[in-house]
Chain A
Amino acid sequence: MTLNVADVTGSVKSALLAISEAKDLAELKIVKTEHLGDKSALSKASQALGKLAADNRAELGKIVGSAKAEVTAVFEAKLKELEIVRDLKVLSEERVDVSLPASKLPKGGLHPLTILTNEISDLFIGLGYRVAEGPELEAEWLNFDALNIPADHPARTMQDTFFIEPLESRLVLRTHTSPVQIRTMLENKPPIYVICPGRTYRADELDATHTPVFSQVEGLVIDRGITMADLKGTLDYFAQSIFGPDVKTRLRPSFFPFTEPSAEVDFFFNGRWIEWGGCGMVNPKVLEVCGIDTSEFSGFAFGMGLERTLMVRHGITDMHDIVEGDIRFTRSFGIGGR
């Protein structure tokens, strides 16, 4: 077998042409066998080298080696190029409609009252308060008497109370979470910083704005030197956290048996004043019954309806939606978004 430079150069030329003309990986594979395989001209040239005389072999060996290297490099480049083309085609064929819904994924939610209660609890925990809770079925004494609402006082008729049979049991469904305040004061020494969220009951018919079972959050602070300005500041902070940083509050004189002075608190939201809740400085009669020394300590308390807060914040216009347990309502709140 003869081996000359011109043949090698010709083989390289035809190999490079074949590689460049390969249109896909299958064609390239054939090209590879033909021009780089064992039976290809270049491989045969390599095999022929062994039979050459030593002086000739070195020179031609270089030529054949570089020829093979050149063809291999071009082949590798072409292979990569065609692989990318193939991948693009395959991935493009696997394209999906990403807007399709994941119906099988379960979708639940927390009731917004839970979300709001958590939010308010966290807010006040951040201010150094504790969250205090108590029973919903409560002793009349804790719900009324200890709060300076004696039997037959007109103030008791302000709240339509659910009583338990027999009346001698002196049990009521609490009309506010204030009995939790009383329990807290009876069992703890000041300073006391608590908020009391929970379910409360008043015999109002269910309509667009009323429900006989509702939720309240009350706050109670007993410490040295507590002033009505502290009450105002706490309400400002509370309102701004719930309704937005620009929200203003105002206090209006009012009456509650358990506070003196008493006030209604309103907040200015979406261009109007909205009644939010009641508040005031804790009446010394209440503090004294709970064993708190009024010469040393003073305190404030406030209470708001959570349903009303939700309705205003989320533009809910019908109380039925909050109480009827429709899953569409709960789901729309997710597990803690606003």
Chain B
Amino acid sequence: MKIPLSWIREFSPIPRDISLEDLENAFVNVGFEVEGIDLQGKDLTGPLVVARVESIEELTGNKKAIRYVGLDCGEGSNRFVICGATNFVVGDLVVAALPGAVLPGDFAISARETYGKTSNGMICSARELRISEEHSGIIVLPADCAKIGANAIELLEINDVVVDVAVNPDRGYALSIRGLARELAASLALEYSDPAQKVNTKDFAINTKGIQVSVEDKSALSIVYIRTISDFNASAVTPLWMSRRIEKCGMRSISLAVDITNYVMLELGQPLHAFDAMKIDTSLIMRRAGSTKTIKTLDNQERKLNSDDLVVADKSTALALAGVMGGATSEVTGKTTQIALEAARFDPITIAKSSRRHKLSSEASRRLERGVDPSLAEISSARAIALMIELGGAKYVGSSSSGEPKYAPIVSFDPNFVSKYLGTEVSLSEVEEKLTIVGCDVAKKSTTNWEIDPPSWRADLLLAPDLVEEVARMIGYERIPSTLPTGKSGTGLTPMQYRKRSVANFLAGNGFSEVYNYPFVNPDFVSQLGFVGDRAKSFRLANPMSEEFPDLRTHLLPGLLLTAVRNQGRGAKDIALFEIGSVFRNTEKLEAQNVVGTDRVPNEATKAKIYKSVPNQPLHVGAVVAGKLGSDGWNGKAQDFTWVEAIGFARAIIEETGNVSTTSSSDFAPWHPGRCAELKVDGKAVAHAGELHPRVIAELGLPERSCAFVVVLSALGFPETKKLQTLITMPAAIQDIALVVDGSVSSSTLEAALRAGAGDLLESITLFDRYDKLGDGKVSLAFTMVFRAPDRTLTAEEVSEHREAAAASALKVCGAVVRA
């Protein structure tokens, strides 16, 4: 909220010489962020005077209207100036900047030749003086508001400090001069007088005259006042002091009646609405819209009503969307002489819902949905009526009200709790002093039991910690010391957390760069990659950032591929990316969770239901390699990254988790149907790896033979801690064996057969050669077998027996023939 310091000073003596830094800190220390401080008039110097328009000569032949205006500036003779505005007539009072004046923006005024005339000054608009954004014309002052030649800087109270204060949702009361003046005064330890207490309500007692009000839905508001006046002078204008304050607060001056409602709202925090009483059919009813279908609001928009919207209605129809915006039909106009003024303490949630439904956030709804002081319905309406009588010559007719103001209950409070909770000593007298400053009444029953009656504007002070915050704010958070507690429940990282780290370190250490992609995907791209069935079932966002990416990812590859493309577009040649992240598959039957209250702990069944409403979100690691892991260099080419390495990395990751996988061929999008491995652990597919589908590669423009792998980290179990045998230090016996098999026999099958035949003394077996040019679809696979016994050196005879047993097994299982 924007507040002029001049208005605050009416209620608290803020020092004239307060520095901007001190001013800002004073707000920040009690919980209000300062978004800006505007020193109005800082770069404006006079002479700036009140002048009367004596003559207007329209200059023709220009692209726009240009006037040559004679002004009486109280100098004895008239002064003539050129003016491009047309919103004034002879006799109007205007603001003239005379030669020698400097306007904001370092705009020096001097006598100058223009449009063939001598212009001896300038008639100013509000924006030129930087006192508001108004620029539809020059400032026309109210008639007789000042003497000709008077200092307009003083008249317009231009020199002022306007502070833009951010107000948190729990402090609705602070959306007012009343509230912020109280906070600033408290922060600076200055006197404060409450503007609400200055209002005389006795003269405007409830009676049966004027517009009467009734409340149909009592859950929607606690108290409403309708006050009626007559004989309002429709041509009365808003006095400068009022319009200037309204403008400084960032609102526009509209008409006297409306300005008064806004002025009182800004001052006290209670939104008011003025109806043209002549347009009201009999009386006002506060009710839900029900069967009323539409309302035309002040902004001339025809709005469809929700049956739950709260409206202010008369006997025949809805006149206002209560607390949000008035209606067009009962609007106060230039002809209005009878006014019914509404002030109500609405239920914040009712207003919030209406405001959100209609996407309409007004000065009124902003305050009402944060909760307004219930005592203000009576006070603020009386204040506004008094102003209408004073400034608009109105006559009081009568007042009607319905309901009772509801205040926050008394809080029982052990004042020693403040010190205990803050971890610093705050004396009881200090606690009492600070609570009193924020407006609480303190009744001390004993040293450990105080009864705190929160002020009318603080419906949020309900629990002991609420009161602690008030004391803490007022003594200053810097009083809180620094102590370091240490935990009693630490058990280190979980196995899954260790797993994530080791996989990430493994890949990064091997040349992959980690990325964090947004999990938003385009469904067309996903289907273009070939994802179908459960692997394509996604969740759709109701409000995506962009219509292009409305779905949540079901797989890491769509994001990784696009990131690879982006890197390539930026000139990268060898791109190896990986990501560890959750995927979201809409494949479970989820039980939508019912609305659960928060007034008590949910029982086990309710908790289970809440948890079950959330889908399982598997954790994947995915990688894309476009190019090589290293780069070709001055000393030769880097090793190619092919389907072999892709599968090898997937296998290594699984091994790293302590699991053992089997590899088989798979046809799985978006991989190459003949170059994709499926890795299984305990019969369950946990990874896919290999070369990407050539069509996908081509469509994305990635390097030929680009590869990818994905491992479902959350599908892998946590095997028991490895037990290792003592390493054997006896000599190893090494045997090579080359076998010819049919090309359809996989090397892993052959290796398993050799392993099975070789016996327990086989320590390792490694494929060291593969030759597929034998013809007849035969391939030769050559292995190195290492044998070792724990207790002796193996003899040549023993070793060759084992080798032959291995060969026999290979022949039996795979039809392998030892290569001559």
Q: Which residues of A contact B (CB under 8 A)?
A: 100-111, 113-114, 118, 121, 124-125, 127-131, 133, 135-142, 145-146, 148, 150, 152-155, 157-158, 162-171, 173, 186, 188, 191-194, 199, 203, 205-206, 212-213, 215, 221, 223, 225-230, 232-234, 236-237, 250-255, 260-263, 281, 283-285, 288-291, 298, 322-328, 330-331, 334-336
What are 30 sample pairs from A and B whose C-beta atoms fall under 8 A apart?
A103-B631, A103-B632, A104-B639, A106-B510, A106-B630, A108-B510, A109-B514, A127-B490, A137-B615, A138-B614, A141-B595, A145-B596, A146-B598, A153-B352, A154-B352, A158-B169, A162-B543, A168-B592, A192-B489, A213-B518, A226-B485, A228-B421, A233-B485, A252-B31, A260-B468, A261-B468, A281-B421, A290-B601, A325-B516, A330-B514
A152 touches B353 (CB 8 A): yes
By a CB distance below 8 angstroms, the chain B residues around A253 are 29-31, 469, 472-473, 477
The count of A-to-B residue pairs whose CB atoms sit within 8 angstroms is 316
A128 touches B539 (CB 8 A): no
- List the 5 closest pairs (A to B, CB-CB), nearest first: A106-B511, A229-B423, A128-B487, A103-B633, A193-B487
Give the residue name and chain of the A residue nearest to B501 (CB): A118
Given contacts A163-B541, A229-B422, A253-B469, contact A121 B493 (CB under 8 A): yes
Minimum CB–CB distance for A18 against chain B, Å = 47
A229 touches B482 (CB 8 A): yes
By a CB distance below 8 angstroms, the chain B residues around A121 are 493, 497
Q: Does B819 contact A (CB under 8 A)?
A: no
A102 to B631: give the CA distance in the assembly, Å.
9
Taking a contact as CB atoms closer than 8 A, the residue among B349, B494, B610 that contacts A142 in the complex is B610
A166 to B487: give the CA distance in the assembly, Å.
41
Minimum CB–CB distance for B220 against chain A, Å = 13
By a CB distance below 8 angstroms, the chain B residues around A173 are 541
By a CB distance below 8 angstroms, the chain B residues around A166 are 542
By a CB distance below 8 angstroms, the chain A residues around B169 are 153-155, 158, 255
Given contacts A125-B493, A255-B170, A325-B517, contact A108 B507 (CB under 8 A): yes
Q: Which residues of B contact A (CB under 8 A)?
A: 28-31, 33, 168-171, 348-349, 352-353, 356, 369-370, 420-424, 463-466, 468-469, 472-473, 477-478, 480-494, 497, 501, 504-505, 507-520, 539-545, 552, 563, 566-567, 570, 572, 575-577, 581-582, 584, 590, 592-593, 595-596, 598, 600-602, 607, 610-611, 613-615, 617, 629-639
A90 to B230: give the CA distance in the assembly, Å.
115
B494 touches A152 (CB 8 A): no
Other A-B pairs beyond A104-B632, A221-B485, 5, CB < 8 Å: A106-B510, A106-B629, A114-B514, A128-B490, A229-B481
By a CB distance below 8 angstroms, the chain A residues around B633 are 101-104
Minimum CB–CB distance for A173 against chain B, Å = 8
Given contacts A203-B545, A254-B168, contact A193 B490 (CB under 8 A): yes
Which of A131, A150, A167, A260 gathers the greatest number of chain B CB atoms within 10 Å? A260
By a CB distance below 8 angstroms, the chain B residues around A252 are 28-29, 31, 33, 477
Given contacts A139-B610, A233-B482, A283-B465, contact A145 B590 (CB under 8 A): no
Given contacts A118-B501, A167-B542, A205-B545, contact A325 B515 (CB under 8 A): yes
By a CB distance below 8 angstroms, the chain B residues around A101 are 633-634
B482 touches A107 (CB 8 A): no
B508 touches A251 (CB 8 A): no
A165 touches B488 (CB 8 A): no
A110 touches B483 (CB 8 A): no
Minimum CB–CB distance for B489 against chain A, Å = 5
By a CB distance below 8 angstroms, the chain B residues around A158 are 169
Give the residue name and chain of the B residue nearest to A136 (CB): B582
By a CB distance below 8 angstroms, the chain B residues around A330 are 513-515
A237 touches B484 (CB 8 A): yes
By a CB distance below 8 angstroms, the chain B residues around A261 are 465, 468-469, 472-473
A158 to B486: give the CA distance in the assembly, Å.
33
B485 touches A326 (CB 8 A): no
Give the residue name and chain of the B residue nearest to A255 (CB): B168
B539 touches A260 (CB 8 A): no
B577 touches A228 (CB 8 A): no
Minimum CB–CB distance for B217 against chain A, Å = 16
A228 touches B480 (CB 8 A): yes
A227 to B426: give the CA distance in the assembly, Å.
13
A322 to B545: give the CA distance in the assembly, Å.
18
Which of A141, A153, A255, A325 gathers the greatest number of chain B CB atoms within 10 Å? A325
Given contacts A110-B508, A154-B169, A229-B482, contact A169 B590 (CB under 8 A): yes
By a CB distance below 8 angstroms, the chain B residues around A146 are 598
By a CB distance below 8 angstroms, the chain B residues around A171 are 539, 613-615
Given contacts A212-B545, A228-B421, A232-B481, contact A137 B614 (CB under 8 A): yes
Give the residue name and chain of the B residue nearest to A157 (CB): B356
A157 to B349: give the CA distance in the assembly, Å.
13
By a CB distance below 8 angstroms, the chain B residues around A152 are 349, 352-353, 356
Give the residue name and chain of the A residue nearest to B593 (CB): A170
B601 touches A103 (CB 8 A): no
Give the residue name and chain of the A residue nearest to B515 (CB): A325
Given contacts A137-B584, A152-B349, contact A335 B508 (CB under 8 A): yes
By a CB distance below 8 angstroms, the chain A residues around B491 are 130
A283 to B421: give the CA distance in the assembly, Å.
12
A139 touches B576 (CB 8 A): no
Minimum CB–CB distance for A236 against chain B, Å = 5
By a CB distance below 8 angstroms, the chain B residues around A237 are 484
A124 to B493: give the CA distance in the assembly, Å.
11
By a CB distance below 8 angstroms, the chain A residues around B514 are 108-111, 114, 330
Taking a contact as CB atoms closer than 8 A, the residue among A107, A137, A250, A263 that contacts B552 in the complex is A137
Taking a contact as CB atoms closer than 8 A, the residue among B33, B513, B570 that contacts A331 in the complex is B513
A251 touches B480 (CB 8 A): yes
By a CB distance below 8 angstroms, the chain A residues around B370 are 154
Given contacts A141-B610, A213-B518, A227-B420, contact A104 B489 (CB under 8 A): no
Minimum CB–CB distance for B793 against chain A, Å = 39
By a CB distance below 8 angstroms, the chain A residues around B353 are 152
A90 to B521: give the CA distance in the assembly, Å.
62
Give the residue name and chain of the B residue nearest to A182 (CB): B610
Minimum CB–CB distance for A309 against chain B, Å = 15
B510 touches A125 (CB 8 A): no
By a CB distance below 8 angstroms, the chain A residues around B614 are 135, 137-139, 142, 171
A262 to B26: give the CA distance in the assembly, Å.
18
A173 to B348: give the CA distance in the assembly, Å.
27
Which of A127, A150, A193, A252 gathers the greatest number of chain B CB atoms within 10 Å? A252
Give the residue name and chain of the A residue nearest to B169 (CB): A154
Taking a contact as CB atoms closer than 8 A, the residue among B349, B352, B477, B487 that contacts A129 in the complex is B487
Give the residue name and chain of the B residue nearest to A212 (CB): B545
A141 touches B420 (CB 8 A): no
A136 to B582: give the CA distance in the assembly, Å.
8
Taking a contact as CB atoms closer than 8 A, the residue among B33, B421, B469, B501 that contacts A227 in the complex is B421
Give the residue name and chain of the A residue nearest to B474 (CB): A253
By a CB distance below 8 angstroms, the chain B residues around A234 are 484-485
By a CB distance below 8 angstroms, the chain A residues around B567 are 325-327
Taking a contact as CB atoms closer than 8 A, the residue among A148, A165, A186, A251 that contacts B542 in the complex is A165
A131 touches B497 (CB 8 A): yes
Taking a contact as CB atoms closer than 8 A, the residue among A128, A154, A251, A331 that contacts B369 in the complex is A154
A125 to B490: give the CA distance in the assembly, Å.
6
A251 to B29: give the CA distance in the assembly, Å.
9
B631 touches A325 (CB 8 A): no
Given contacts A230-B484, A233-B483, contact A108 B508 (CB under 8 A): yes
Given contacts A163-B543, A223-B485, A229-B424, contact A100 B635 (CB under 8 A): yes
A185 to B168: give the CA distance in the assembly, Å.
27
Give the residue name and chain of the A residue nearest to B545 (CB): A212
B31 touches A255 (CB 8 A): yes
Give the residue name and chain of the A residue nearest to B350 (CB): A152
Taking a contact as CB atoms closer than 8 A, the residue among A163, A228, A290 that contacts B423 in the complex is A228
A285 touches B598 (CB 8 A): yes
A289 touches B598 (CB 8 A): yes
B356 touches A289 (CB 8 A): no
By a CB distance below 8 angstroms, the chain A residues around B356 are 152, 157
